[in-house]
Structure 1
Amino acid sequence: MPKTILYARVSTADQTLSHQKAQAEKAGFVIDEVVSDHGVSGVSSVLSDRPEGKRLYDKLREGDVLVVRWVDRLGRNYQDVTDTIREFMRRGVVVRTVINNMTFDGATRDPMQEAVRDALIAFMAASAQAQAEATKEAQRAGIDAAKANPRKYRGKKPSYDGDTLAVVVEMLGQGAGASSVAKQTGLSRQTVLRIKEDPAAAQAALERWAS
C-alpha cells in the first residue's frame, strides 16, 4: 500500500521536527512515516549523502507521496534540488510541498504540461538557492553587528525562531501578502511586515539572542 512520508531536515537548534510535522498535518496531510536529518546543511550536502536521506531513497516506492515543507528541505542548490525531484518522479513518487501545496509527479505525458511542471521545479529550486545565499548574508550581517557591539542591549526577544523566519522570507519572496503569511506562521502581521522591511535585522535579532 502506498505511503505518505514526510521528510524533514533540521539544520539548526531553532528548527524543530515537530514544527515541520505540525505544519504538514495542519495543511491536511496524513503522514504515515517521518524521516528526518538533524544538524545537516542543505547547502553543503545533497539528499542522497545525508544519513536519513539515503534511507529515504531506499524506502520510497512507486505510488508513494513524499511531503516536504518546501523544496529547500531537499537542498539549497539549484542542480541538486532539480535532480532530486526528477529522480523521484522517474521512480513514480509524487513530491508535494506544504507551503503553497505544490504537487510534482511524472504522470503527465503532455509536453506542454511537462514544460510547465519542469519550469516550476526550476523556479522553486532557484528560489531555494537564492534564499540560502540571502540567509547566509543576513547571518554574516548579524554576526558582524554583534561583534561590533558586544554589550549592546539585545532588545525584545523575537517571537519567531529560525525555521519560522525562513518560512516568512520564503512566502514573502513568492509574493504572499503579510496577512496570509501571518495566518500561516502564527506571527502578528506587524512582525511579518518588520521582517519584510529588513530580513537582515530579523536574522540579527536571532543571532543576538542565540549568543
Structure 2
Amino acid sequence: MQTILYARVSTSDQTIEHQEAQARQSGFLIDQVVADHGQSGLSTSLRERPQGRRLFDLLRAGDVLVVRWIDRLGGNYGDVCDSIREFLKRGVTIRTVINSMTFDGATTDPTQMAVRDAMIAFMAAMAQAQAEATKIAQRAGIDHARAMAQVDKYRGRKPSYGRSQFQLVQDLLAQGKGASEIAKLAGLTRQTVLRIRDAPQQAEAALAAWDL
C-alpha cells in the first residue's frame, strides 16, 4: 500500500513543488510523486499524458491517490469520470487536497454508490466548465493584446510630449526663442523640439492618433 500524489501543471505560475507542499501541509504522507508538465487541453486524456499512463501502471488495490482537485485526473468531464471509475474498481482510494474529499469503492449499497457517482459527475462537470471558461478568457486576452498591438503599430510610436507641451513649443517658436531654451522651458529634449518645429503637422497628427 502506498500514497501517490499525482500533480499536473500547465502554466509558468504553477509548480509541482507547490502542489506537493500543499498536500503535505494538509496532512498527507506522500510516498511517491507522479507529475506531468505542460500537458494542458480539454482533449488530452489522462492516459495520453506520459506520467498519467504511468499512474495507471502503478496504482494497486489499497493504494491512496492524492490530487489537488479531481480536474487533475482528466482533460474533460468524460475522461475524469472514466479515470475515477477505473481507479475505484481497482480498489484505489482517491483523496483531494482541496476540501478533503474522499472517494472509494468500498460501499456496495446502490443508493450510496449513486450519490457518490452523482457527486463525482457534478464535480467533473464543474471542472470542465471552469477549464472552458479559463480557455475562453485566455483567448480573449490574447486577441485583445494582438488587437492593441495592431492599433499601436498603426498609430506609430507614442509621442514623448503632451498637448500642452506641443502648444507651448509652438508659442515659444513664434516668439523666436531657440530650440535649447524651449527644451528647458517645456521639459523636453532639444531633438523633440526640433521635430515639432520642422514637422508641426506630423507632430500634431501623432497627438491625435494617441488621443493626447
For structure 1, list consecutive stretches of 5 or more residues without a partner in the other structure: 153-211
Identity %: 70
Query: What's the counterpart of residue 52 of structure 1?
Result: 51
Please, what TM-score do these two structures have when normalized by structure 2?
0.68
CA offsets 1:124-146 (integer angstroms, 9 cap, x no match):
11011101110011101211222
Q: How does 1:116-131 map to 2 (within 5 A)?
A: 116-131=115-130
- Correspondence 1:32 to 2:31: yes
SS of match in other structure, 1:149: helix
Query: What's the counterpart of residue 12 of structure 1?
Result: 11
SS of match in other structure, 1:29: coil
CA offsets 1:105-154 (integer angstroms, 9 cap, x no match):
100011111111000000011011101110011101211222233499xx
Query: What's the counterpart of residue 64 of structure 2?
Result: 65
CA offsets 1:42-69 (integer angstroms, 9 cap, x no match):
5121111211111111111100000000
- Deviation, 1:76, is 3.1
CA offsets 1:18-51 (integer angstroms, 9 cap, x no match):
1111111111111110000111015121111211
- Is the CA contact 1:5–1:34 (under 8 Å) kept in the aligned structure 2? yes
Distance between the aligned counterparts of 1:103 and 1:42, measured in 2? Answer: 26
Aligned partner letter, 1:48: R
Distance between the aligned counterparts of 1:17 and 1:51, measured in 2? Answer: 15
Query: What's the counterpart of residue 138 of structure 2?
Result: 139
What is the CA RMSD across the aligned residues, in angstroms? 1.5
SS of match in other structure, 1:54: helix
Please, what TM-score do these two structures have when normalized by structure 1?
0.68
In the alignment of these two chains, the number of paired residues is: 151
The higher relative CO (CA closer than 8 Å, separation ≥ 6) is in: 1
Query: What's the counterpart of residue 172 of structure 2?
Result: none
Q: Which consecutive aligned stretches of 4+ in structure 1 deviate over 6 angstroms post-superposition?
A: none
SS of match in other structure, 2:36: strand
Query: What's the counterpart of residue 98 of structure 1?
Result: 97
